[in-house]
Amino acid sequence: MSGAMQTLGDLPCAGSARRRLARMVPVLPLLAMAAGLLLPDLAALAHRALPALLVATTLLGLLALAPPLLPPGPLPSLAAALGPPLLLVLALGLAAPLLGCGAAWLLGAGAEARLWVALAAAAPVGTGAIGLGVALGLGGGRSLAVVAASTAAAPLLVPAVAAVLGSPGGVEPAVLAERLWLLGVLPALAALPLRRWPPLRTEVARRHCAGGAVLALSLTALARMDGLGPLVAAQPVAMLRLAALACLPGLAGILAAWLLLRRSLPEAVLIGGYRNVTLVWAACPALLSEQGRLFMALTALPVFATPALATLARRAISTLAGRHTRT
């Protein structure tokens, strides 16, 4: 019976199910954000469940990863294991804030706005990138390594970025560490024994977990729209300008990641664009005016559009490869 369960993932229907899931991934977060902007009461209701949704996204994403988490064979050296993720973390935590700050300066943004962009660009990669990587067919292994490394480095890198931009002491590392522990580390520890449970070791179960992670992430996108709908309706032009500025952290992160992942643009888009800006927002209240808090809220728009961008990048690469093959 267990052998039959393990082979279910090899049936043709499993492949079609994976394709259906991959088609839904870029659409669901966009629909959820639209619903949150159009139905403010629904967004406010979802916001009450935000901590549980964040935990579910992390837990289900880790359960969706195919075993083993470590490659078979002899363990790599410490430098070989940590080197690539640390390079990506430094690119995302230091280079991306500089790129974003420079772009904001070129666009004429003031010093305060440049600080907002840099802080958002220094945010660690969101744990939702793990489940998204699996659901989009990108594997999720690299996302897991970068999420773990950037999460561990955030209490050091985010205050360093603030200090470089002239705001030392404005970030609370203890708040960063506490939220990382509650919403990231504890769900990850809970996932370890669950991954050994036989019913969750089949490909069918992992696919369901990936779908659940995408659903939890989409409900998170809905919750992050809380309060934005009425503001967009009342001040559309001003909100559009601020939303354009809020796209800079993600674009800077994508560029920084792509410089190191030239052979995998979809992964660079996912890792560089899907950032846990809410974590930074909670850790630096002293640095954010009311307009700054609104900026941080608007970063949710490009963050949750990242799955669609990664899908577009993948399709563009496939189209170009097909044309190259025909010629």
pLDDT digits (tens, 9 = 90+) for 283-303: 888 888 999 999 999 999 999
Question: Could you write out the DSSP letters of every residue in 288-325?
Answer: --HHHHHHHHHTHHHHHTHHHHHHHHHHHHHHHHHHHH
Per-residue pLDDT, 29: 94
Give residue 21's pLDDT band: very low, low, confident or very high (50, 70, 90). low
Average pLDDT over every residue of 84-101: 86
Local structure of residue 102 (DSSP, 8 states): H
Stated length of the chain: 327
Highest mean pLDDT out of 81-85, 106-110, 277-281: 106-110
pLDDT digits (tens, 9 = 90+) for 47-57: 999 989 999 99
Give residue 7's pLDDT band: very low, low, confident or very high (50, 70, 90). very low
Could you give all domains of the chain from N- to C-terminal order, each with its CATH number? 43-68+78-315 (1.20.1530.20)
Position 325 pLDDT exceeds 70? no
Give residue 6's pLDDT band: very low, low, confident or very high (50, 70, 90). very low
Compute the 3-state secondary structure of the chain and give helix, strand, coil in percent, each to the nearest 5.
Answer: 80, 0, 20
Per-residue pLDDT, 8: 35
Per-residue pLDDT, 306: 95
Average pLDDT over every residue of 35-63: 93
Better pLDDT: 121 or 136: 121
Percent of the chain with pLDDT over 70: 86
Better pLDDT: 322 or 188: 188
What whole-number distance in Å separates Cα of residue 101 and Cα of residue 170?
Answer: 17
- Whether 287 and 136 have beta carbons less than 8 Å apart is answered as no
What whole-number distance in Å separates Cα of residue 111 and Cα of residue 132?
Answer: 34
pLDDT, the chain, mean: 84
Position 11 pLDDT exceeds 70? no
Give residue 247's pLDDT band: very low, low, confident or very high (50, 70, 90). very high
Position 3 pLDDT exceeds 80? no
Cβ neighbours of residue 19 closer than 8 Å, sequence gap 6 or more = none
What whole-number distance in Å separates Cα of residue 38 and Cα of residue 68?
Answer: 43
Per-residue pLDDT, 108: 93
Cα distances (Å, whole numbers) of residue 89 to 24, 85, 95, 219: 29, 6, 9, 27
Considering only CA atoms, which of 3, 252, 261, 303 is closest in space to residue 139?
Answer: 261
Considering only CA atoms, which of 175, 298, 172 is closest in space to residue 229?
Answer: 298
